[in-house]
Amino acid sequence: MAYGRKITGGKYKKFSKKKKYSLPGIPRKAKLGKTKTKTLRGMGGNIKTILLSSDFANVLDKKTKKTKKVKIKNVLETPANKFLARQNILIKSAIIETELGKAKITNRPGQEGHINAVLLNE
pLDDT in tens, the chain (122 residues): 567 788 898 988 878 888 888 888 788 899 999 999 999 998 899 999 999 999 999 999 999 999 999 999 999 999 999 999 999 999 999 999 999 999 999 999 988 999 999 999 86
Nearest to 109 by CA among 25, 41, 30: 30
Can you give the pTM of this predicted structure? 0.78
**Any residues with CB less than 8 A from the CB of 4 and at least 6 apart, and which?**
11, 12
CATH architecture for the domain at 26-119: Roll (3.10)
Nearest to 104 by CA among 113, 114, 94: 94
- C-alpha to C-alpha distance for 72 and 77, rounded to whole angstroms: 13
